[in-house]
Amino acid sequence: MSSGFMTLGSAIHARMSGHVGVAVYQNRAPQGGTPEYCILQQQSATEDYWFGNGIDSIVDADYVIKVVSNDYWPAQAMLIYDGSVHPRIQFAPLTVAGHVQLFCERIRTIPSYQDSDFFWHVGGLYRVTVQGTA
Amino acid sequence: MAAQNGSGGSALYVTGGTTLLVGINEWEISPAMEPTEHVAFTEDWVNNYPGPRKFSGSFSGRGDDDTSQDTLRNAMLGGSVLALRLHTQTAEYWNVATAYLTGQSDRLSREGIMERSWDFVGSGALTYV
């Protein structure tokens, strides 16, 4: 896979952007961005290979996908995450050029927390697994 | 000089031409000899003399719906003879002219990729090309 960060991240972003009711960003929101918004970020990925022509591999990546809110309570972030974000990405058919998707599903939720700037973070950890077909 | 490693390995089956076994990432082959023992009445130590050789092996990887694995499954179910090449690198391989599959194992969990393995036993000579 040429770039798991870009290829997979773009596929997830394309799946969600415009469909979850809030803006979707990779890794961080722009300075001054208006909450609530959705952030996706790759945590780690493994790449397994099989004998053959060197391109037979399966990438298994974990992504945090979360809603960030500056509301006083986390409820608004929870509503968006449970109502729009999670249903949109859970078992989603991602389009990744040159690859066939094997898994796209949540493997755990992340504890809701409020950061030092009083932004609530609500979301889950998803594994996205694709197999090269080139 | 460099360590032999799996980046140039492969497992193929032969039916006139060769076909890559898709989804395999591990193989093992074990040539062996059965020496003949002899101890004379006056000797305190066992003597061994070269005996017949034999070999067996296995290969494994992920379960895949590729036709190459279908061929192996059919050979397993049908008890068909098989010819294999287990490559250590592109131009070097164990040449298994005649073999029979003695076992297949499929393992699938909800969370993962299907794991599949085959065991085989050779018949006749094993060569290294």
Question: How much is the mean pLDDT over chain A?
Answer: 92
**C-beta atoms of A102 and B113 within 8 A:** yes
pLDDT digits (tens, 9 = 90+) for A45-80: 999 999 986 678 899 999 999 999 999 999 999 999
Q: Report pTM.
A: 0.86
Is any Cβ of chain A less than 8 angstroms from the Cβ of B66?
Answer: no
State how far residue B117 is from chain A, nearest Cα, in angstroms: 14
If DSSP states are collapsed to H, E and C, what string results for B69-120?
HHHHHHHHHHCCEEEEEEEEECCEEEEEEEEEEEEEEEECCCCCCCEEEEEE
- B121 min Cα distance to partner chain A (Å): 22
- Name which residue leads in pLDDT, A84 or A4: A84
pLDDT of residue A132: 86
Residue B25 contacts A, CB cutoff 8 Å: yes
Predicted-assembly ipTM surpassing the 0.90 threshold: no
> Does position A25 have pLDDT exceeding 70, yes or no?
yes
| A91 vs B: CB within 8 A | no
**Taking 70 as the threshold, does the pLDDT of residue B85 lie above it?**
yes
- pLDDT band (50, 70, 90) for residue B22: very high
For chain A, say whether B84 makes contact (Cβ under 8 Å).
no
Residues of B in contact with A55 (CB under 8 A): none
Which residues of chain B have a CB within 8 Å of the CB of A128? none
Lowest mean pLDDT among A16-25, A50-59, B38-47, B76-85: A50-59
Determine if the peptide bond prior to B115 is cis (ω within 30°).
no
Task: Give the pLDDT of residue A32.
Answer: 86
To the nearest 10°, report the CA torsion of A94, A98, A99, A104: -20
Q: Which of B25, B60, B65, B115 to mutate to test the interface with A (most CBs of A within 10 A)?
A: B25
Q: Choosing among A47, A51, A59, which should be mutated to test the B contact, i.e. which has the most B CBs within 10 A?
A: A51
